[in-house]
Amino acid sequence: MTQLHGKNFIAGTLQNSGDTLTAVSPLDGSSLEGRFCLASEADVEAAMEAAAEASGPLAARSGSQRAELLERIATEIEALGDGLLERAHQETALPLARLTGERGRTVGQLRLFAAAAREGSWQDPRIDRAMPDRQPLPRPDLRRAKRPIGPVVVFGSSNFPLAFSVAGGDTASALCTGNPVVVKAHRAHPGTSELVASAIAKAVAACGMPAGTFSMLHGQGSLIGIALVRHPATKAVGFTGSRAAGRALCDAAAGRPDPIPVFAEMSSINPVFLLPGALAERGASIAQGFVASMTLGVGQFCTKPGLVFAVTGPELDAFREAVREAVIAAPSASMLTADILDAYTAGREKLVSLGNATTLSEASAEADAAKTQASAVVAETDLASFLADEGYAAEVFGPASLIVTAASADQLRDAAASLEGQLTATLHGTQSDLAAAADLLEVLATKAGRLIVNGFPTGVEVCPAMQHGGPWPATSDSRFTSVGTAALERFVRPVCYQDVPDALLPDALKDANPLCLERLVNGVRGTH
């Protein structure tokens, strides 16, 4: 494995600062190799100034050139070999098999965005040609296309050290559209972050991109993170994390003299609605799938099903029994950090201690606190209690969930209407169940960014049709996604060119259409 140096990456150079941090293994609490320099205010200034200087030259690079950069980053990450996975395992306790899959997802989405950079349709070119003879007033020549927004600050996430961190989807989509990126590495996996940053830095240099195209800093989110958001060169922010941290970044961005967008994924409990026919037909298999989804990754997925609604009756009783047995058998496992375990423990205790909540089942396997282990729990309550106390709807990040019982299927719509915004909402039903639940589905469509029928929400496919975002507090802006090619829309802005000579127009808007893009010209879509 590449030797760790613990320095910050600033525009192609390595910078030392005074204070340092050490990574801690959640598996045994031991300190891991390497001391990592915490960025100073001067480091923030240097990184952002370099990003600002690179912004114009990077935006001027062709889509093919940016595609080559993204592909080279993917290749350099693969070249790190198993050493990257081993370090990520040490820092996060995530299994090597899971990390292998996550690395594949990371390089896969880099190559997906490379294809998008070459193809260029993200520019969405629109042309309305001049009509000088139009009465009573002539129309000027109007041409609209999207362009890079400028330097983007990206915050690495705790639970996806590869796919949502230094070279994750936020970084890939920003680079794809020609924006420099400054990453604030997550404190929980600094060694993993450094290794990936070294791969990006190599790719930037090999492709001859401006030095300020990429920087990465270590530091406290409450200090360095806020400073990055407030810096005048920053034009947008990508974040995945807690509601409290996301809200702090949104407030900092809104409080600037020039407010900027923050695209934050923050909080979701991902409700599951069980309709009577489905419970009668396959309640046991639904129970197995639910518990498997709830405990996947020790419940540390933003799409973990943390809430289940169902109608009382013998079918639900059978489902509850199957859930009880599956939870008892669920193994304990290490969480990402001791702080996350502490938060899970507090949230779990609060959940089961709410007024009318009872514990349906707990895992029998003992959780070893020295190994940062958590065990699964499922609580239950009735709908009236749930609606009367918002504490029941609080996210518990970890392997915990709540079953809420309703007196009738009609009450499920009331339950759905009471929810905050979510990343996902799931329905399990037979054909007749679903036909009768059209109103419920419509309510859920106002609450969630992705609707799932007869499946489970964990697992987010990286593809153009994916929507990974939802109404507040799931994300800060429900119009956008952080997964899939539509994620590019976050880091661009439209510009209209009026009566601009052809030679001065972006290639996407020139009469000859040198990029062969599909364009909307005088209301007609085609490659003309």
Catalytic choice (68, 265, 315, 380) = 265
Q: CA 245 → CA 209, 223, 302, distances in Å?
A: 32, 12, 15
**Bridge partners (DSSP) listed for residue 31:** 24
Q: How far is CA 425 from CA 305, 428, 450, 451, in A?
A: 9, 10, 7, 5
- Closest C-alpha among 497, 494, 527 to residue 512: 527
List, in order, residues 6 or more apart from 4 with CB less than 8 Å away.
Answer: 33, 34, 191, 194, 195
Identify whether 265 is a catalytic site residue: yes
C-alpha to C-alpha distance for 79 and 97, rounded to whole angstroms: 18
* Cα-based distances in Å from 63 to 118, 235, 237, 376, 507: 5, 21, 22, 47, 11
CB 377 within 8 A of CB 404: no
Burial code of 263-280, b = ≥16 C-beta within 10 A, e = fewer?
Answer: bbbbbbbbbbbbbbbbbb
DSSP β-ladder status, 307-311 and 400-406: parallel
DSSP code of residue 13: E
Question: Phi-psi region for residue 29, left (φ > 0), alpha (ψ -120 to 50) or beta?
Answer: left
Which member of 37, 176, 250, 302 is catalytic?
302
Residue with tokens 């019982």: 405
Q: Is 302 part of the annotated catalytic residue set?
A: yes
Provide the annotated active-site residues: 265, 302
